[in-house]
Copies of this chain bind each other. A is one copy, B any other.
Amino acid sequence: MTITDARLAISEVAQATGLSAHTLRYYERAGLMLDPVDRASSSHRRYSAGDVNWVEFLTKLRLTGMPIATVREYAELVRRGDSTTEDRLDLLGRHRSAVLAQLDDITKSLAAIDKKIALYKEKATHA
């Protein structure tokens, strides 16, 4: 019940997060939200600031390649409460390692692409 208690419509959250309204509903159906989003007039969704923060965080998990199923697992741990802190740390830690490996792969591949670009540029110079 704070003064900042704005409840956003799905279209506003879509706007704010860059996801489509379709995708937001899909994520909720898929069990990715911590709780079902509140409703106004018992039909239209009203997102709280907490909901939006959560969507933003799970978007980062997705962006770094975490599968939907794993995001759901994580959400389930959060739902289960404080006793799951260790498990959450473990899950995020393992994901962190995967992301580091991913960054390494991409960086190495980028170096090869840069090499090829340099090669073409040199070729163009000698033309």
- A and B contact pairs by CB, cutoff 8 A, 14 listed: A57-B116, A60-B113, A63-B105, A63-B106, A63-B109, A64-B109, A86-B124, A88-B120, A92-B117, A93-B117, A96-B113, A99-B109, A103-B103, A106-B106
Question: Please, which residues of chain B bring their CB within 8 A of the CB of A64?
Answer: 106, 109-110, 113
In the complex, residue of chain B having the shortest beta-carbon distance to the beta carbon of A120 = B89
Confirm or deny: A70 has a beta carbon within 8 angstroms of a beta carbon on chain B. no
Chain A 104-127 per-residue mask, 1 if CB under 8 angstroms from chain B, else 0: 011111101110110011011001
Given A64-B109, A85-B123, A89-B117, 9 other A-B residues pairs in contact with their CB atoms under 8 A: A61-B109, A85-B120, A89-B121, A92-B113, A92-B120, A96-B117, A99-B110, A100-B110, A103-B107
Give CA–CA (A121, B105) in the complex, Å: 28
In the complex, residue of chain B having the shortest beta-carbon distance to the beta carbon of A109 = B60
Question: Please, which residues of chain B bring their CB within 8 A of the CB of A89?
Answer: 117, 120-121, 124
Contact of A85 among B99, B100, B124 (CB under 8 A): B124
